[in-house]
Structures are given as C-alpha cells and as structure tokens.
C-alpha cells in the first residue's frame, strides 16, 4: 500500500461520553487539503490527533509513517497553527518565533535567522521588535504561521488559520501556502468557511458529527449535486399566478409558499433549464420579483447535502 503523509485508520476519539471523531479512515498525500465542517464537527480533535496532542481512543493515526501520539522523528517535519492563541503577549515577534524555532533543535543564531525569514514571509517584517500584545488578530494569525514554517516543515496542520484575517492577508497567506506546496509541503487547513476554502484548494474533506461526510475534489463532489433537488427562493408579488405557470414545466418538481405567499421555494432537478425559462417568464414584465436566492451551486449547498446524509 502506498504510504500517505497522514493516514487515519478507523480513528476515534471520545471525551467521556462525547464523540470527538468516530471511525475516520483517511489518507492525505500532498498539496493543500481543506478540512471543512461546522462548529463542533471534530476538526480540532482530528488535527490534535494528527499532531499527537491527543491519544486515539480507538484506531490509528500515522504521520510520515509514525504513530502521531508516540512518534518523535516526524515532529521536526511538522508545523502547527492551533486555533487558540498559544502566544506569549509579553514577547516580541522576533523573540517568540526564535524561541519556538530553537525548540526544533537549531542553534540560537540559526533559529534567529530562520525566524526573521519566516516573519518576513508572512509580511510581519515591520513588526519584528513589537510586543505580541499590540498585534491585531490577523497579525497574530500571521505570527502563528511564522512559527509554524520557520523550520521548513514537510507537513503543516493549520486550525482555522484564516479566521480574523482581512482579504489582503488571506491572499498573502494563500500565496505563501501555495509556494510551500510547490516545495513539497502537505497542508491540512481547517475551516468552516466553505467559500474561503474554495478559493484556496480543490481538495476537501468534509467532516460532520465526527465523521467524514465526503472527501475528494470539489468538482467531483459537486457532481453529486446533480442528483439532488435544487431549491431557489423567489420573493415578489403575484407568486401564486407565477407558480401556476412554473408548474407547467416538467423540470419544476415542487413549489412551497412561505411568508404569507410573499415568497416561495421552487424545487427543480435542472437549475440551468429553470433559470432559462424563469428569465423568459420574467421578460414578459407581468411579475414583480424582488429577490431570487439560490445556494445550490456553491459549496454551502454541497456541504448541507452531504452532511444531510450523516445521522447525528
Ligand atoms: P469548532 O469549529 O467549533 O472549533 P471543531 O470542528 O473543531 O469545532 P471539535 O472542537 O473537535 O470540533 O469538537 C468535536 C466535539 O468534541 C464537540 O462535540 C466538542 O464539544 C467535543 N469536545 C472537544 N474538545 C472537548 C473536550 N476537551 N472535552 C469534552 N468535549 C470536547
């Protein structure tokens, strides 16, 4: 069997009666992989199992072929950004990254050189001698990334790294992560923001209630959407009359009125055809439509569809 950088086999973690993750089987080989799920899905638990902070209750997790909880060699190849702000506010940016880099076994001099380089890579060069307590949330995220990359790890585990970052910082981080991937890094990045992830990678693992709902390329997962019903919310006036016209078309599978008939949810198996015909109907000028809302073409709907298949 080809060895994966990260391999989980029937991996479970329970906190007493509470399920963190359950029966996870997953191979992660290379590139950026998005770990996506809502709050409480098990993302942090999974990442903590990967970096050996938690011991599995059942099953196995290996990083670069070593068991994550007991292995030691892989740790020098591992960079971690935790969700919590595990920083020392009284230290300067340079001191903090230098100290943590020394822990990977570098001399003080080399650690400092590496720290400066990493801090510059995350665009914090102008804050080198500032105390961490004065940094903004987005800057602290960059600082956490700097300490995670200063030793040139092969594997990066990034828990909600992009949270609190403005679009420019997100873009800079994205560029940096892609560069690292080009140099052979494997990156697992958790988020509950599907759009954000879509902009960064095609490869996702969707986790819900501690289980993997789906894993693969976003495009492939979206193919699954073709077999489920799309919903489009239409808001406006004279909706009952509009509904009568729409229901004459075979691709409309149902209409449900809401909000005292001020809006209606149209169900269709063929959204492209629906929009085509809908536009033509609206072109007659007979109806006043205030809003048309569809979530079905993006990752959000894919996510809801996929996790809908998992029972809590
Ligand atoms: P979020 O996006 O909110 O950070 P998450 O996907 O990272 O969520 P986890 O933090 O892994 O999810 O939590 C998974 C489940 O395990 C949740 O039900 C959570 O309440 C529970 N859990 C996590 N840590 C502990 C703990 N130390 N003790 C008890 N239960 C925990």
- Find the 78 Cα to ligand 1 centroid distance in Å: 22
- Find the 109 Cα to ligand 1 centroid distance in Å: 39
Task: Tell the residue nearest (CA) to atom 29 of ligand 1.
Answer: 15
Domain 6-217: what homologous superfamily?
A: P-loop containing nucleotide triphosphate hydrolases (3.40.50.300)
Q: Tell me if 27 sits within 8 A of 39, measured CB to CB.
A: no
Domain 229-295 has CATH 3.30.70.920: yes
pLDDT of residue 187: 97
Q: Tens digits of per-residue pLDDT, 207-266?
A: 888 999 888 888 787 676 666 677 888 999 889 999 999 999 888 889 999 988 899 999
pLDDT at 79 over 80: yes
Ligand 1 cavity residues, CB under 6 Å: 15, 18, 20, 37, 39-45, 83, 192
Alpha-carbon distance of 205 to 225, in angstroms, equals 16
Q: Tens digits of per-residue pLDDT, 169-190?
A: 999 999 999 999 999 999 999 9
Domain boundaries, the chain: 6-217, 229-295
Helix axes 137-149, 167-182, angle to 10 degrees: 10
- Find the 17 Cα to ligand 1 centroid distance in Å: 12
């Amino acid at each position: 069997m080809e060895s994966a950088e990260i391999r989980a086999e029937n991996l479970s973690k329970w906190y007493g009666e509470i399920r963190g993750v359950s029966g996870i089987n997953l191979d992660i080989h290379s590139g950026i992989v998005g770990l996506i799920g809502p709050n409480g899905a098990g993302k942090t638990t999974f990442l903590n199992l990967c970096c050996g902070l938690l011991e599995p209750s059942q099953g196995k997790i290996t990083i670069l072929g070593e068991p994550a909880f007991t292995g030691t060699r892989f740790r020098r190849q591992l960079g971690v950004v935790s969700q919590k702000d595990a920083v020392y506010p009284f230290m300067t940016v340079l001191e903090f990254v230098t100290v943590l880099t020394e822990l990977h076994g570098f001399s003080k001099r080399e650690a400092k050189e590496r720290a400066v380089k990493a801090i510059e890579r995350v665009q914090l060069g102008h804050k080198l001698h500032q105390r961490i307590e004065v940094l903004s949330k987005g800057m602290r995220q960059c600082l956490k990334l700097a300490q995670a990359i200063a030793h040139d790890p092969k594997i990066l585990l990034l828990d909600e790294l992009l949270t609190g970052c403005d679009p420019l910082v997100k873009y800079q981080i994205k560029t940096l992560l892609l560069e690292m991937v080009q140099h052979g890094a494997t990156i697992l990045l958790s988020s509950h923001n599907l759009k954000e992830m879509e902009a960064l990678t095609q490869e996702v693992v969707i986790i819900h209630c501690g289980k993997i709902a789906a894993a693969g390329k976003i495009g492939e997962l979206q193919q699954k959407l073709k077999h489920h019903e799309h919903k489009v919310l239409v808001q406006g006036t004279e909706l009952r009359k509009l509904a009568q016209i729409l229901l004459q078309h075979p691709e409309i599978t149902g209409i449900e009125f809401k909000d005292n008939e001020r809006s209606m949810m149209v169900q269709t198996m063929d959204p492209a055809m629906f929009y085509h015909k809908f536009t033509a109907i609206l072109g007659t000028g007979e109806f006043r439509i205030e809003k048309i809302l569809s979530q079905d073409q993006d990752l959000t709907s894919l996510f809801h569809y996929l996790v809908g298949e998992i029972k809590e």
